[in-house]
Amino acid sequence: MISKLPRREFLKISALAASLPFAGGLHGAVPPAEKAGVESDGLTVYELGPQIWIRWNNRPLTCYRAHRSQKYPYMYPLAGPLTGLSLTDETALPYPHHRSLFFACDRVNGGNYWQEGYEKGQILSTGPKVSKPENNSVEITDTCEWRKPTGPIVMRDRRRILVSAPDKNLRFLDWEIEWEAVEDVEIPKTNHSLFAMRAAPDITPSAGGNLVNAQGLSGETQTAGQKSEWCGFYGKRSTVPGAPVEGIVIMNHPGNPLAPTEWFTRDYGFASPTPLWFRDTPLTIAAGKALKLNYRVVLFGGDPKQAGIQAIYTRWAAPA
């Protein structure tokens, strides 16, 4: 079910949202759109301007945030299936520019579409669209322009995000991205590139959680710079009675350029399959050409073995 709020209600909610802290930690919080009074099991959707809220059984699952005042679109929260607490953080030290789950890159034709000021570049949504929920899944599509405030469009990405809930312990977010050069593009070696996540502090090694990859390696010292099919975090949600274990992993499709890819990982909660980190020559993309990228994000209850993460990857990565 998709609900659109009347303009008067939207303006009231927007005013309320503007009075709240920007990164107030929506760990289990109820978004304003839930006050619409509509109840339904399974996946439901609310469009709130350029934000698309997706709920599961009347609780927040995620929100695609595409307001043009941001550096780039991102998704937050990403609710754990057991607790409803977000498995990602919207912003946190030591690098507060990390936004939960996002697609970005610095050093693109001299621009910066990852951090620093907006004058260095922004990734601007042209307006996301969302499908009607069907078979416990919903699709978000968006076209985004990579540009500086006074310059031409440098790149364009077309993204399709399929959010699904295959069972009570699993949530999938499948990202398909076509990243097209509008002009000839050169990207030097960088570790700030493409798909990335910032995990919630309580599931990171810095707070007693775990960072693991598909090869069974753990922690930043073992996983950083290593090639792997998937990587992520899991740990006890100690603020919830019984401290259930939940986690999140990113899967890098074997058909992606330069896969399997080295990972940029940090014990404080950052993980990204970064194909440009160990590339000694610049990546060049001719005008009109595009890279096609596929990622799966899995939110799960239990540890990776209990959740069957490797089997999920094998099925997802198998040729159609």
**Would the pLDDT of 231 be above 90?**
yes
Place of tokens 């997802």: 316
Provide the residue type at 129 as one letter. Answer: K
> Angle at Cα 98 formed by Cα 93 and Cα 99, nearest 5°?
120
User: 122 by DSSP, 3-state: which?
Assistant: strand
Q: Would you say residue 185 has pLDDT above 50?
A: yes
Closest CA to 261 of 284, 303, 227: 227
User: What pLDDT shows up at residue 116?
Assistant: 87
Give residue-wise pLDDT tens across range 306-318: 999 999 999 999 9
Of 152, 246, 260, the C-alpha closest to 204 is 246
What pLDDT does residue 46 have? 93
pTM for the structure as a whole: 0.88
Of the chain, the percentage scoring pLDDT greater than 70 comes to 88
pLDDT tens for each residue of 116-153: 889 999 999 999 999 999 989 999 999 999 999 988 99
- pLDDT confidence bin for 212, thresholds 50/70/90: very high
**Section 33-58 average pLDDT:** 81
**pLDDT (tens digit, 9 = 90+) per residue, 145-165?**
999 998 899 999 999 999 999
In this predicted model, what pLDDT tens digit does every residue of 256-285 receive, in sequence order? 988 999 999 999 999 999 988 888 899 999
The pLDDT score that the predictor gives to residue 28 is 38
